[in-house]
Structure 1
Amino acid sequence: MDLHRVDLNLLVVFQHLFNAGRVSTAAAELGVTQPAVSNALTRLRKLFNDELFIRTSRGMLPTPLAQALAEPVAQALDALHGVLNRQVAFSPSTSTKAFQIAMTDIGEIHFLPKLMQALGTRAPGITVSTVRNTAINLGEEMTSGQVDLAVGHLPDLSSAFFQRRLFRQKYVCMFRPGHPLDKPRMSLSDFERAEHVVVVAAGTGHGQVDEFMARTGVHRNIRLRVPHFVALADILHTTNLIATVTEKFAQRSVQHFGLRYVEHPVSLPDIQINLFWHARYHREPASQWMRALLFELFSE
């Protein structure tokens, strides 16, 4: 296909249709009529000899060709936008930007206290909202800019995303002081006989550790399952239950709840915690500033 046949405005319509999934939404975002968007789609279909978007009850679903075009078109438009428009300098001390960051609840425990303390002194007008990466289509939300950054063990994010390692997570076994297993080392037989509390966290690094133990035949006498970490330290503090947790969470629980932990009797794989952002926002000043702050505070 010769580039001289391609109208740049058609690619802009294509990108909005891909992200929005509806002609009416794309038209509203572009400030044009729905017939204008439909006409542009007709021209796009003729240009690429493909339907590109199929109308369904869930909106306009992209064809395989449209999915293949989406990332290079977005990158090309983003690069062109950067050339044609000078980036406005980002001033954290005066900004009122609202960041949305995807992380787990254990991520909130580790990241948010230190992050919010730093923002309080460096960027008092900036606000942060968190969202669970398992509760949304994270890739689509980050592509559209609804979610700015994601933190965690997220191997499913595609090559359209940049990532940088923050640290590696080691897993340990935690319990209350004075527990019958409160000794320097815990044997596998002790671990299997003990009563466990398990945080059900499918789709996360913690969920993968649970799957690893099940796959390798490690037996656990599970007395309690909970969907989050928020009450875990309180539960361990008042019972004889034990839990498999990250060492960073255990260290915080020792500091605030006086709990104890030992090396895990199962040779569990470490989990790498990365910071992710979409290629569309790689050079966006606000994103660059927040990423730099997170690297400074948490990178090991």
Structure 2
Amino acid sequence: MDISGLDLNLLRVFDAVFRHGSVSRAAQELSLSQPAASQALTRLRQLLGDPLFERMHGGVRPTPRAERLAQAVRTAMATLEVALAEAHAFEPLEARKRFRLHLSDIGEARFLPPLMQALRQRAPHVLLETLPMPMAEIADALDRGSLDMAIGFLPGVTGTQQQVLLSDHYALLLRKGHPLLRGSHAPRMNLKSLKSLEYVAVRSHSETLRILQTLDLESRVRLSAAHFMAVPSIVRQTDLAVVMPAEIAARFQSEGDYVVVDAALPESHFDVSLHWSWRFAREPANQWMRQLVQEVFQQQ
């Protein structure tokens, strides 16, 4: 077909419908009415001579022609976005941009203080907004641009560009003076010792729950908490234990009220990575922010 008369807005609608599997959600993203999005899709169907999407329960699914077209459309749009963005250099001292970042609650406590200190010095007018999301939604949010980057142990996030920031493992955090620590400050616990403990489980951290389930310790959970932030205070005032990243646990131990205990925890090693979308990989502001995040991690 001759593309000289093709309205590029039709391709924006096609891309949004393909990613969302829904005309209504695509219209919402593009700030269009649903009839306007449907009309744009109809025009593109007529131009290409293909239905492109078929109705199904809860949305639409692409035809084989749409599947083949989708990657080419996304690549072309990303190339245009980068070309337009490169015309505007990012000046951090003057910028008033908002960066949106996925972090868990424990990630906020660990990484936001040094990151905000660095931003205050280098980009004092920039706004940083954290938007914690379910793991299954992160890649799509990065691709849409509703998230600029995500930091964490995110094994379910695929199809993104990523950089490992640090490697860590899970350990136990107990209060100093815990009955099992008598005669030894930090023994390495075997399974029998682990089964004698009682635990705090944090529902927002699925890997710690997996470890407790793998060791058949669910019956030893005495508190199931929604978030992490109150857990260290609870551990300090009780005999409960919590499974958590060793690097963060060591920071609590340095306060003097806690002991970090290595244990035979299954599949306990993991990487904390920075994730971003290839669509915005060369956008100057995002490049600058990713570099800053990596510098901050290297200094910790």
Query: TM-score by structure 2 length?
Result: 0.83
SS state at 2:295 partner? helix
3-state SS of paired residue (1:242): strand
Who is 1:191 aligned against?
194
Residue segments in structure 1 that go unaligned for 5+ positions in a row:
none
The one-letter code sitting in structure 2 at the alignment partner of 1:187 is N
Give me the whole-angstrom Cα distance separating, in 2, the residues matched to 1:250 and 1:102: 21
* Post-superposition offset of 1:218: 5.4
SS of residue in 2 equivalent to 1:275: strand
Q: Which residue of 1 aligns with 2:123?
A: 123
Measured against aligned partners, the alpha-carbon deviations of 1:206-229 in whole angstroms (never above 9, x if no partner) come to 423432442354566111110111
Q: Secondary structure at the match of 2:164?
A: strand
Instruction: Tell me by how many angstroms 1:197 deviates.
Output: 1.0
For 1:178 and 1:33, locate their aligned partners in 2 and report how far apart those are by CA, in whole Å: 63
Counterpart CA distance in 1 for 2:206 and 2:215 is: 14
**Contact conserved, 2:198 with 2:239, CA < 8 A, in 1?**
yes
Q: Note if 1:153 corresponds to 2:161.
A: no
Structure 1 residues 241-286: Cα deviation after superposition (integer angstroms, max 9, x where no partner)? 1111111220221234621111123344311111111111011111
Q: State the alpha-carbon separation in 1 of the partners of residues 158 and 78 from structure 2.
A: 18
- SS at 2:178 equivalent: coil
Given the alignment of the two structures, is residue 280 of structure 1 paired with residue 283 of structure 2, yes or no? no
Q: Aligned residue for 1:88?
A: 88
| Structure 2 match to 1:98 | 98
Matched, 1:269 2:272: no
Q: Is the 8 A contact 2:54 2:61 kept in 1?
A: yes
- State the partner residue of 1:249: 248
| CA gap 1:135/1:81 in 2 versus in 1, 3 angstroms | closer
Q: How far has the Cα of 1:55 moved from its partner?
A: 6.2
What is the aligned-residue RMSD (CA, Å)? Answer: 3.2
Unmatched segments (≥5 aa) in structure 2: none
Q: Report the Cα distance in structure 2 between the residues aligned to 1:212 and 1:248, rounded to whole angstroms.
A: 17
Aligned equivalent of 1:109: 109
Q: State how far apart, in whole Å, the 2-side matches of 1:150 and 1:49 are.
A: 39
Match of 1:79 in 2: 79
Give SS of 2:180's match: coil
Are the counterparts in 1 of residues 23 and 34 from structure 2 also a CA contact under 8 Å? no
User: Once the two structures are aligned, what percentage of the paired residues are identical?
Assistant: 31
TM-score between the two structures when normalised by the length of structure 1: 0.83
Q: Structure 1: how far apart are the matches of 2:227 and 2:25? A: 39
Check whether the contact 1:103–1:152 (CA below 8 A) recurs between aligned residues.
Answer: yes
Secondary structure in 2 matching 1:129 = strand
Q: How far apart are residue 85 of structure 1 and its match?
A: 6.6
How many residues of Structure 1 are paired with residues of Structure 2 in the alignment? 292
